[in-house]
A = this chain, B = another copy of it.
Amino acid sequence: LKFQTIADGSVTSAKGFFAGSVHAGFKKANKDLVILYSELKTSAAAAFTQNRAAAPPVSISREIVGYGDVRAVLINSGNANACTGLDGFENARMSQAAAAKALSLKPDQVALASTGVIGVPLPMEVMMQGIPKAVAALGPENGHDAALGIMTTDLSKKEFAVRLTIDGKKVTIGGMAKGSGMINPNMATMLSFVTTDAAVDPGYLKEIVAEVVESTYNMITVDGDTSTNDTIMVLANGMAGNKTINEAHTDKELFIEALYAVNEMLAISIVKDGEGATKLIEVEASDFQNKSDARIAAKAVLNSNLVKTAIFGEDGNWGRIICSLGYSGASFDLNDVRLELANGQGQSVKVFENGLPTDYDEAVVTELLKDTHIIIRVNAGNGYASARGWGCDLSYDYVKINGSYRN
């Protein structure tokens, strides 16, 4: 293999990255304020929610990443600082300034991310008292604590890191993410932070991160709802000592592959822990006319409540898959479509071909669907473009969690 998974890897596995994670009081218990810090100047690239009601921390971070040198990220869980009006912006600016001061940085070097309850003012006393504690807690071993600190009601922390060699130098890429959690009133926010000690040209990093995001975070879905706070950020501080990775670097593909792997792993861990999820659903869309068609086809299948409930019920209801392909907007001729259901154990059954269901054995399909990893292979027989996407089933628990019974 070209790169190795680091056992116990985290967002501080890469050289020169520190994390501090404390319980400040945004949540009743558990860590809820995190500072991620880089010793050296970084190249930064990010992707943010396209939601028009984007929260103040998103607007501010978007600006900061544009400027260039992100040295720290201040992240709180338990309050999203969304739909909080002008005060929300002022509170975000004040938090940023306080963190910058405590870290001896300029405000424009500190990015922000918030997740949790919306429409409730950010409790500034909690924030102001928490910041120095989080700074005091900064350390190179605290990645796992950071992954815990950004959780809302995620059932498990999400972190992953790999090691590779570039220019004879040991390069590390590590990251943490959080997914769909529930606070009342809530929304499911996706946050992901990836750090690397590789030296990467800032413009080139933006380019490759944009591509990686398209194939990973933008190909996962829990319920099709895009939050006001979604943030993905990649920071590279160059401490590995490799020659700066750019378009001309001979090992650029290896780096991209490793960066892709870390982000794919984090993205998949988010849907695996989707609200009420009992099964990971993977769609492999192949032989479409173009990448965009393959992607919208995969997303339509993954977003279909009818497909999601069928998988939950372990019902091989392929008609719903064909139906969702049909309204996806992707171009294909039904007579060319081949559909295969498979699982994580390597079992697979072709259920549809040449415009007709095949003569498959229903019992085999039912057996196959008992696995917790279901793979739907859609071949459009219409070109050479492919895409993969990931989602989860729709269960009673999704309804229960999101129905927010207060009694």
Give the complex CA separation of A119 and B84 in angstroms.
51
**Who on chain B is nearest to A406 by CB?**
B315
Q: Which residues of B contact A320 (CB under 8 A)?
A: 185, 187, 225
A225-B119 contact, Cβ under 8 Å, with A317-B185, A323-B51, A334-B53: no
In the complex, whether A398 has a CB less than 8 A from a CB of chain B is yes
Other-chain contact of A319, B49, B85, B187, B316 (Cβ < 8 Å)? B187
- Complex CA distance for A49 and B326, rounded to whole angstroms: 10
Residues of chain B within 8 A (CB-CB) of A354 are 85
Nearest residue, chain B, Cβ from A366: B406
The distance from the CB of A289 to the nearest CB of chain B, in whole angstroms, is: 13
| Complex Cα–Cα for A352 and B185 (A) | 14
The residue in chain B whose Cβ has the minimal distance to the Cβ of A305 is: B223
| Contact status A404-B310, CB under 8 Å | yes
**Cβ-defined contact, B325 with A52, below 8 A:** yes
| CA A400 to CA B323, docked complex, whole Å | 20
User: Cβ of A82: which chain B residues have Cβ within 8 Å of it?
Assistant: 319
**A225: which of B184, B312, B324, B331 is its contact (CB, 8 Å)?**
B324
Q: Does A399 contact B (CB under 8 A)?
A: yes
A1 contacts B by Cβ under 8 Å: no
Q: Which residues of B contact A204 (CB under 8 A)?
A: none
Q: Is A379 an interface residue, CB under 8 A from the partner?
A: no
B-facing mask of A188-230, CB < 8 A → 1, else 0? Answer: 1000000000000000000000000000000000011111100
Find chain B residues with CB under 8 A from A319 CB.
82-83, 118-119, 185-187
Q: Is the CB of A224 within 8 A of B305?
A: yes
CA A354 to CA B53, docked complex, whole Å: 13
Q: Is A155 an interface residue when CB atoms closer than 8 A count as contact?
A: no
Q: Does A356 contact B (CB under 8 A)?
A: yes
**Could you tell me how many residues of chain A have their Cβ less than 8 Å away from some Cβ of chain B?**
68
Q: Is the CB of B323 within 8 A of A403?
A: no
Q: In the complex the two chains form, is A52's CB within 8 Å of B315's CB?
A: no
Q: Is the CB of A317 within 8 A of B186?
A: yes
> How near does chain B come to A27, taking the closest CB pair, in angstroms?
17
Residue contact B356 to A403, C-beta cutoff 8 Å: no
Complex alpha-carbon distance, A334 and B51, angstroms: 11
Return the contact of A306 from the options B187, B330, B335 (Cβ within 8 A). B187
Question: In chain A, residues 315-348, which have Cβ atoms closer than 8 Å to a Cβ of chain B?
Answer: 315-320, 322-328, 330-332, 334-335
**Residues on the B chain within 8 Å of A50, using CB:** 327
Known: A185-B310, A188-B306. 9 other contacts (CB 8 A): A52-B327, A53-B322, A83-B319, A85-B354, A184-B315, A185-B316, A224-B224, A310-B404, A313-B405
29 contacts between A and B (CB under 8 A): A49-B327, A51-B323, A52-B325, A52-B327, A52-B331, A53-B326, A83-B352, A83-B356, A86-B355, A118-B319, A118-B322, A118-B323, A184-B315, A185-B310, A185-B317, A224-B303, A225-B304, A225-B320, A225-B323, A228-B322, A228-B326, A305-B398, A309-B398, A309-B399, A309-B402, A310-B402, A313-B404, A315-B403, A315-B406
A residues apposed to B, CB below 8 Å: 49-54, 82-86, 118-119, 184-188, 223-228, 303-306, 309-310, 312-313, 315-320, 322-328, 330-332, 334-335, 352, 354-357, 366, 394-396, 398-406
